[in-house]
Structure 1
Amino acid sequence: MFHKILIANRGEIACRVAATARRLGVRTVAVYSDADAHAKHVAACDEAVHIGGSAPKDSYLRWERIIEAAKATGAQAIHPGYGFLSENDAFANACAEAGIAFIGPPASAILAMGLKAESKQLMEKAGVPLVPGYHGSDQDSALLQREADRIGYPALIKASAGGGGKGMRIVEKSEDFAAALASCQREAINSFGSDAVLIEKYVQRPRHIEIQVFGDTQGNCVYLFERDCSVQRRHQKVLEEAPAPGMTPELRAQMGAAAVAAAKAVNYVGAGTVEFIVEQPPEGGMRFFFMEMNTRLQVEHPVTEAITGLDLVEWQLRVASGEPLPLQQQDLRIHGHAIEARICAETPDNNFLPATGTLAVYGKPAHTQFERGTVRVDDGVREGDTISPFYDSMVAKLIVHGATREEALARLDAALAEIRIVGLSTNVQFLRHVVNSRAFAQADLDTALIQRESAALFHQDKVGRPLAVAAAVAQTLLAERAQERADPFSRRDGWRPHGITVRRFDFDYLGEALQARLSYLHDGALQLAFGDVSGVLAFDALPPDGSGTRMDLRFNGQRQTVQTWQIDENVHIFCALGATQIVEIDALAHAGETAHEGGRLTAPMPGKVVSFAVQAGDAVKKGQALAVMEAMKMEHTIAAPADGTVAELLYAPGDQVNEGAELLKLSTA
């Protein structure tokens, strides 16, 4: 076993590797960028080395600096994590040349499987079923268009060197192909350094099922069963589970054997994942087709750990140090069911736009971390940390395990309900909607589940206006009570010797202006009214659970244990029903402000301007694409909010812009 390793990554996966290394008595070295100087993964390791600027190209992708850091600290091996350099064959070669073990497969296997087109040609020779497509080296755009037309629509354009859902476009009809190809190639060159693509028939109602494989230097190779990763948004996984619902022992054995054959064909060593598209024909059953092999540890590896009882990072370290696999195929068993939810900083109701900001509040359910448990949370952030635009938007992974899928689902929803994040937008409530949707609950799975169930997943208000207003008013009253002194004039309960005192509260809830009136009755009761809602408001403070205000709230026929935080005018509300926020408007603070400022188009988040599709003077229609921005390695299209004329472009392609920066001026009628 190694004495010291360097972890060439950041965030959650760096902390994950460090946890296993510490348990095995292996010392660790972290690397970090300017933005990560105070990050959790730096504190999790025994040593840390600064390697460059905040952008990945200036730090985590500078493998020569990483190898220098390994040499300087005496690290015997480098663990690449996932993303960044984990599937870079040149980096694996450089490690070997420097006499440093690469905790992953040999460079030859990365090269063979890393290019999607070449790997599919390998699989074709091995007799593994493939989806009809074009995997050739000729990248002439006219040829690619002809191939797509030949294969038929809908067609899928995929970056040949891609992964992680980036560099992929679904094309519904021939006339959309050229624009989709250009966008896909731009994203591919920025993410992977190559704009080569392959074209495939887009399989309809497909499931994404992958097989975890593991090989050693003695020639042994096993599969650690499957994971179903069908629930996806923008081709990126949202929920992963194991075992796959509906999987038969016969199909599992077939897919496992195919995955092992694929790994052995490239002399694979270490952890890898063979991904399959699984078709669900109307007549029933499932047919699988090879999609790609990820030559690294996957983000979703904890669900495999949960059902097998194994530590896959420990296996990685042992195999990389020359040990044989700890177990053989006949020793492996499935125990129960596990589901992983990726908690991301994003806004699902706005096309999953990535979000940035500070984790002002970050509360989690009772859990284990980086090790198996009924509820497990793996993360690389702490309360007070910032989610920056430089890296992936994932905040944490929530993994639950149960004896059955139904038990795991119940535990997942209960754990999600206990998460408290304030300071930026996340997908936590969206995940709860998915988990409770008919399709997911009944395992009616395919990669279009989110689109199919969109009516039940987006723009949902589970808390509701009455409870939100009541919680905001009750929180204000509890805060006032906390400031009261023995002096009766410090009280703000509205007492007077005759008549009824009425207080006004102004709110904005989900874009709707609300005016609430709170009446202090002579018997001490409180009457709250707004719109067509009116009723007695009652609440009691509960013992605190961390920060925030906890209360037993009763209003409008509902009784909920509610927890709130107020940051500026925003009141963040959490209860068993869900979470929401309401703006409590301070009228004096907004006196004199203008209500409307039209004709502007602003950057929805920090990023880089990729291109403009218009020029000054162009007439545009509502919904027309105006500009493309890149942030968090993804492209985002800025569309016209109304018909109008472009008055001025305020930036040029390549410019970095801040959130809220005005990109162009649009004159509207």
Structure 2
Amino acid sequence: MIKSLLVANRGEIACRIFRTCRALGIATVAVYSDADAGALHVREADTAVRLPGAAPADTYLRGDLVVAAALAAGADAVHPGYGFLSENADFAAAVQDAGLRWIGPPVKAIELMASKTRAKELMAAAGVPLLAPVDPAAATAEDLPLLLKAAAGGGGRGMRIVRDLGDLPGELTAAGAEALSAFGDGEVFAEPYVERGRHVEVQVMADEHGGVWALGTRDCSLQRRHQKVIEEAPAPVLPDELRERLHEAAVAAARAVGYRGAGTVEFLVAPGGRPYFLEMNTRLQVEHPVTEEVFGLDLVALQLRIAEGEPLPAAGPPSPVGHAVEARLYAEDPARDWQPQTGALLSLRVPDEPGVRLDTGYTGGDTIGVHYDPLIAKVIARAPTRAEAVRLLARALERARIHGPVTNRDLLVRSLRHPDFVGGRPDTGFYDGHLAALTAPGDGAAARLAATAAALAEAARGVAAGGVARFGAWRNLPSRPQARRYRSEPDGSEHEITYRSGRAGLSVPDDGVRVVAAAPDRVTLETDGVTRTFHVTVHDTRAYVDTASGAYTFTVLPRFTDPADRTEPGSLLAPMPGTVVRLADGLAEGAAVTAGQPLIWLEAMKMEHRVLAPASGTLTALHAAPGLQVEVGALLAVVTESSTDPSEEQPA
């Protein structure tokens, strides 16, 4: 039996696996990079081994260092989690060659499924339906739109949608470069892109005795940049015949490669209901909790027992009960091209209520850095029906207290309450069609009321510190109005709040607003006969206001603008901390550029971001170069605007 387990991963999934290990009496070993020295998964492990460096390529992707760490710590088994080396056949082989137990499928199964092109050939031979690949060199207009995909990886890296044949060569080059950077393999293939399809997958579990379970379906259609955002089990509105067909195809796929352990077979279901095989992930999925919740199983515990040689129960899997929905809470700004955010996570509290589960790798006080995926947590809700589970999850997210970097929390709440999602009609184009509405600024009146609460709480702190007691108590005349300014984050709207402090306490001149109570951390206001309570927390220049119906973040503004804050026109600033990975071809000082032209590519938190020319003109300064690490707001280049678009200039 396994006595000590090393998790070759970090963050949320490492913490998740450790939780099961504790329940089973298995000692735990963490590995960590220098950037993760104080991370939650390190604090929760019994033993931790340092991997010198910060970049994944120097740490979590160094299989030799991870194996050495397991041996040094006395572990007798290795669990890869997901991402990093979880689907690396060479790493699985190295673990076993070192005499350690591998918590995963056979090396041969990983090899067969590692290349999506080889996997498709294998699935075709097994009778699994799939999309026929398209030779990019022979593609015609009739083949459009096309989806380019990295052969050696997933997670949205190396994926491009091509709708114009003229864009195909450039997109092939870009996809190949991204795939090479992410997976060490630049092979890219093309297949037809199915508009408004559904991403449906089947969880499989197999033992070494020939037992294979299909543990229902999951719908993972709500995605940004081909990465999942909201998942649920079972997949809604699927005909029983199609559901059974997917189960059979998934079991056939597992048997075709002699699979063992936990795996996921992913399908794309076209609008007409026809399913196509996408890929098989030879590991535990990020979204596995929704399957656990409806089946009442611990999939990690099953993985460990299978690795110890136990068979799956002969009676088969339990019957699913109810519905579960998971939302991925990211440190990112959806309204600004999903830009990842970094900084101190000051508070992370999700309501501890029946049916609500939190899987996370962070606690309040931790820091979200630049080196890894911006996933903060997964919030899961389970209920007897889908409608109840969706409602419970939206409410839990709405009431959560999340202070720190900008997150996608509001987007998640609005997505869960959108009519298309509530009606069980999710598809992979959901955010393409609805993102603008889902990220539009909220109710301005509600935000102003929250800013009013922030101002009154700040004034109450002054009272508590003795401000009114020293001066106000001796005045017979009403006090002069005080004003404070706040900027809503991340939409940028500003609010100037005026209030008075006197013998009767704090008051505001706004019609219809009555101050019921005001303390430094809690303010109660009455408007139109309705009483609302606001919980206020201040960290430096940020004020966080939490209410029963949503949360607000404000930056406390100074009375006057600092001249040093001015930025020269045409300056290209880094939108997030990251690494410059490439520049536009021929980009140099003096080059003519066009408004909207991609000039610089930044990589941050496993995602690539383009920095565009703000106007047409001449590049008069260039401070970026491939490999350069930059902080948010760093000056990358300067474009001096011209009155004539360079693309319209005629040669002399």
- TM tier, shorter chain? over 0.9
Are the structure 2 counterparts of residues 536 and 522 from structure 1 closer, same or farther at C-alpha, using a change threshold of 3 Å?
A: farther
Distance 1:574 1:49 in 2: 39
Q: Secondary structure at the match of 2:638?
A: strand
Alignment of 1:60-71 (within 5 A): 60-71=60-71
Aligned partners of 1:151 and 1:200 also within 8 Å: no
Residue of structure 1 in register with 2:303 after alignment: 316
Alignment of 1:499-518 (within 5 A): 501-509=480-488, 510-518=491-499
Distance 1:246 1:66 in 2: 44
Matched, 1:14 2:14: yes
Distance 1:445 1:640 in 2: 35
Residue of structure 1 in register with 2:397 after alignment: 416
Aligned partners of 2:513 and 2:525 also within 8 Å: no
Aligned partners of 2:543 and 2:555 also within 8 Å: yes
Identity among equivalent pairs (%): 44
Aligned partners of 2:399 and 2:549 also within 8 Å: no
Residue of structure 2 in register with 1:603 after alignment: 574
Q: Secondary structure at the match of 1:228?
A: strand
Q: Secondary structure at the match of 2:481?
A: strand
Q: Deviations over 1:105-128 (max 9, x none)?
A: 011100101100000011111121
Q: Secondary structure at the match of 2:432?
A: helix
How far residue 432 of structure 1 moved from its aligned partner, in angstroms, is 0.5
Q: Deviations over 1:88-112 (max 9, x none)?
A: 0001111222221110001110010
Residue of structure 1 in register with 2:650 after alignment: none
Q: Secondary structure at the match of 1:163?
A: coil
Are the structure 2 counterparts of residues 412 and 514 from structure 1 closer, same or farther at C-alpha, using a change threshold of 3 Å?
A: closer
Matched, 1:637 2:614: no
Are the structure 2 counterparts of residues 661 and 255 from structure 1 closer, same or farther at C-alpha, using a change threshold of 3 Å?
A: same
Which moves more between the two structures, 199-208 or 513-522?
A: 513-522
Aligned partners of 1:15 and 1:379 also within 8 Å: yes
Counterpart code for 1:654 = G
How far residue 538 of structure 1 moved from its aligned partner, in angstroms, is 1.0
Among 356, 364, 372, the residue aligned to 1:383: 364
Alignment of 1:323-472 (within 5 A): 323-326=310-313, 328-329=315-316, 331-366=317-352, 374-462=355-443, 464-472=446-454
Alignment of 1:157-236 (within 5 A): 157-236=148-227
Among 522, 525, 528, the residue aligned to 1:550: 522
Are the structure 2 counterparts of residues 499 and 18 from structure 1 closer, same or farther at C-alpha, using a change threshold of 3 Å?
A: closer
Residue of structure 1 in register with 2:539 after alignment: 567
- Structure 1 residue runs without a partner (length 5+): 135-142, 368-372, 543-547
Aligned partners of 2:499 and 2:506 also within 8 Å: no
Q: Deviations over 1:250-286 (max 9, x none)?
A: 22221111100000000000000000000122xxxx2
Q: Secondary structure at the match of 1:195?
A: coil
Distance 2:216 2:304 in 1: 20
Among 271, 274, 278, the residue aligned to 1:291: 278
Residue of structure 2 in register with 1:307 after alignment: 294
Q: CA RMSD in A?
A: 2.1
Residue of structure 2 in register with 1:655 after alignment: 628
Among 263, 269, 283, the residue aligned to 1:278: 269
How far residue 235 of structure 1 moved from its aligned partner, in angstroms, is 0.4
Among 607, 612, 616, the residue aligned to 2:583: 612
Q: Deviations over 1:498-547 (max 9, x none)?
A: 35632222333443444433256887672334xxxx443414247xxxxx
| TM-score, length-scaled by structure 2 | 0.93
| TM-score, length-scaled by structure 1 | 0.91
Residue of structure 2 in register with 1:114 after alignment: 114
Aligned partners of 1:231 and 1:449 also within 8 Å: yes
Counterpart code for 2:329 = I
Are the structure 2 counterparts of residues 381 and 511 from structure 1 closer, same or farther at C-alpha, using a change threshold of 3 Å?
A: closer
Matched, 1:269 2:241: no
How far residue 561 of structure 1 moved from its aligned partner, in angstroms, is 2.1
Q: Deviations over 1:271-321 (max 9, x none)?
A: 00000000122xxxx211100000000000000000000000000000011
Distance 1:507 1:26 in 2: 51
How far residue 569 of structure 1 moved from its aligned partner, in angstroms, is 2.7
Distance 1:169 1:9 in 2: 28
Matched, 1:540 2:513: no
Aligned length: 637
Are the structure 2 counterparts of residues 59 and 554 from structure 1 closer, same or farther at C-alpha, using a change threshold of 3 Å?
A: same
Distance 2:142 2:149 in 1: 14
Distance 1:558 1:597 in 2: 47
Are the structure 2 counterparts of residues 323 and 422 from structure 1 closer, same or farther at C-alpha, using a change threshold of 3 Å?
A: same
Residue of structure 2 in register with 1:53 after alignment: 53
Are the structure 2 counterparts of residues 198 and 508 from structure 1 closer, same or farther at C-alpha, using a change threshold of 3 Å?
A: same
Counterpart code for 1:585 = L
Distance 2:537 2:641 in 1: 39
Alignment of 1:103-142 (within 5 A): 103-134=103-134
Residue of structure 2 in register with 1:668 after alignment: 641
Residue of structure 2 in register with 1:73 after alignment: 73
Q: Secondary structure at the match of 2:158?
A: strand
Aligned partners of 1:433 and 1:456 also within 8 Å: no
Distance 2:546 2:289 in 1: 28
